[in-house]
Amino acid sequence: MEEHQTPPSILPLPLEELVPLLQAWLQARLPEGERKPGRPRTFSDLSLFLFHLVRALLGFSSERMRRELVRNPRLRKRLGLERVPSSATLSERSRKLPWPLLRGGKRVGRGRRVLAMDATLLPAQRSDGEAAWGVGSDGGWVYGYKLHLLVDLDTGEVLALRVTPASWHDSPVGRGMLWGVERFPGEKPPVVVADAAYEGEANFRLTRRRGMLLVTGHNRRRGRPKGRGRLLNLRRRGRG
């Protein structure tokens, strides 16, 4: 039986050439560390970082990447994974990976990150039963999906991504993405900039609890903003 091949169309190099380059880049940034007593880890930090880097290059979600590794054992071995990690293991270990080291430590304890949250409509065929009608930025109706992105404006790193039917409201989707933002040790509260579609008192409360500053537009058709979060938002915008 022919072995499954990963679609290479969006990769800058074939995977067999790309993975060793990524591995060398990671090894130059990750400390070797001392071996801890007790049971050794099944998945190394290096292999999990490779998982996420290749996943991002392919445009896959974590779950789709897991399915890809089940179908493609050769790719799994290239990433240094003895087996495919479970969703729970992947989620738990990924949260604890030393992500700031990939930035060269330049922003730990310095400066302030600026993040941007926005959505764009993706048209779909009318035969797609999971898509829905939504209103575009020009006021016209589009049948399809919405792609929501939370991006670090300094590095271009995509911190969160969601795809929903076009009819879904942006605000609760944005709240789900904001939950996943991790603070770096000693950094100033990150600023999250978003348009009026993400305005919502629940979003302001969430970012306040998680040590972030949310600045959004305001839809004047909703009238005077109500709630402490919305009022503080208008003051921040007024101060620039």
Q: Are residues 27 and 136 in the same domain?
A: no
Q: Are residues 146 and 207 in the same domain?
A: yes
Say yes or no to pLDDT of 127 above 80. yes
Q: Cα(77)–Cα(69) distance, rounded to whole angstroms?
A: 9
Residue 225 falls inside a structural domain: yes
Q: Cα(75)–Cα(3) distance, rounded to whole angstroms?
A: 11
CB neighbour burial string for 117-140, b if at least 16 within 10 angstroms, e if fewer? bbbebeebeeeeeebbebeeeeee
Looking at residues 234-238, what average pLDDT do you find?
48
Residue 85 falls inside a structural domain: yes
Say yes or no to pLDDT of 102 above 50. yes
pLDDT of residue 154: 72
pTM: 0.51
Q: Cα(187)–Cα(110) distance, rounded to whole angstroms?
A: 6
Residue 83 binned pLDDT confidence (cut-offs 50, 70, 90): very high
pLDDT in tens, 169-221: 999 999 999 987 877 666 777 888 888 888 888 898 898 888 888 888 766 65
Residue 70 falls inside a structural domain: yes
Of 99, 123, 149, the domain-final residue: 99
Q: Are residues 121 and 233 in the same domain?
A: yes
Q: Cα(12)–Cα(121) distance, rounded to whole angstroms?
A: 26
pLDDT of residue 109: 42
Are the beta carbons of 215 and 191 closer than 8 angstroms?
yes
pLDDT in tens, 91-101: 888 877 777 66
Q: Are residues 217 and 145 in the same domain?
A: yes
Give the percent of the chain with pLDDT over 90: 25
Parallel/antiparallel/unpaired status of strands 141-152 and 158-165: antiparallel
pLDDT of residue 106: 45
What's 138's domain CATH number? Answer: 3.30.420
Of 76, 99, 122, the domain-final residue: 99
Residue 9 falls inside a structural domain: no
Q: Are residues 120 and 220 in the same domain?
A: yes
In the numeric block, which tokens belong to residue 163? 């795809």
Nearest to 46 by CA among 8, 98, 1: 98
Residue 106 falls inside a structural domain: no
pLDDT of residue 6: 47
pLDDT of residue 228: 54
Q: Are residues 122 and 215 in the same domain?
A: yes
Q: Are residues 121 and 80 in the same domain?
A: no
Q: Which domain holds residue 203?
A: 114-239
Are the beta carbons of 225 and 148 closer than 8 angstroms?
no
Nearest to 98 by CA among 176, 179, 33: 33
Q: Cα(100)–Cα(183) distance, rounded to whole angstroms?
A: 10
Q: Cα(157)–Cα(129) distance, rounded to whole angstroms?
A: 32
Say yes or no to pLDDT of 234 above 60. no
Residue 42 falls inside a structural domain: yes
Residue 145 binned pLDDT confidence (cut-offs 50, 70, 90): very high
Q: Are residues 231 and 132 in the same domain?
A: yes
Say yes or no to pLDDT of 79 above 60. yes
Residue 4 falls inside a structural domain: no
Q: Are residues 226 and 190 in the same domain?
A: yes
Q: Are residues 90 and 126 in the same domain?
A: no
Q: Are residues 23 and 81 in the same domain?
A: yes
Residue 26 falls inside a structural domain: yes
Say yes or no to pLDDT of 158 above 50. yes
Say yes or no to pLDDT of 18 above 70. yes
Nearest to 179 by CA among 86, 59, 54, 95: 95
Of 38, 69, 99, the domain-final residue: 99
Place of tokens 């493609």: 72
pLDDT of residue 22: 80
Q: Are residues 62 and 157 in the same domain?
A: no
Helix (H) or strand (E) holding 233: helix 228-239
Q: What is the 3-state secondary structure (H, E, C) of 171-209?
A: HHHHHHHHHCCCCCCCCCCCEEEECHHHCCHHHHHHHHH
Q: State how many domains the chain has.
A: 2
